[in-house]
Amino acid sequence: MTSMIKEKTIFLLLIAFFICYSCTKDPVKETVDNFYFSFQNLDFEKAKTYCNPLMSYKLTLIQEEMTEEKRSFLEWQLKKSRMKIELISYDEKRGKAKVTIGITSYKEGEKIYETDIILLEKINNSWKIIDF
């Protein structure tokens, strides 16, 4: 009887572990999603929080060169685009990740699908975008 209870308990614990494990979020995916959402909304200050200092500086330069006309055009284009993460590859030993994203956008009424690469690095236990 106690053997059966132990087996059931172990079985339930294993199920709980797998459920919890499958529900955990991927921090790299979360960083890329949050960055892209912030960038898509032209919230440069928020987007910078997901970047290392050099990428943050590059975003500052983009932001400073943004005229109202450029901002309106970029807003219009970004709002119509959709990003999908296709592949994430990790190099845990070096604390690096490479994310391949697919971006669907429209140009002159034509649907365009492009892929791009986002590079990340683990800095102080947080994943930061180092290049895109």
Q: List, for residues 24-75, the tens digit of each pLDDT value.
A: 589 999 999 999 989 888 999 999 999 999 999 999 999 999 899 988 888 8
Domain annotation covers residue 20? no
Alpha helices in 49-105 (DSSP H): 53-64, 68-80
Can you give the CATH number for the domain in which 103 is found?
3.10.450.50
Domain annotation covers residue 6? no
Domain annotation covers residue 18? no
CA atoms within 13 A on the CB side of 56: 9
Residue 12 has a CB neighbour count (10 Å cut-off) of 10
Q: Determine the 3-state secondary structure of 124 from DSSP.
A: coil
Domain annotation covers residue 60? yes
Q: State how many domains the chain has.
A: 1
User: Is-above-0.75 flag for pTM?
Assistant: no
Range of the domain at 40: 26-131
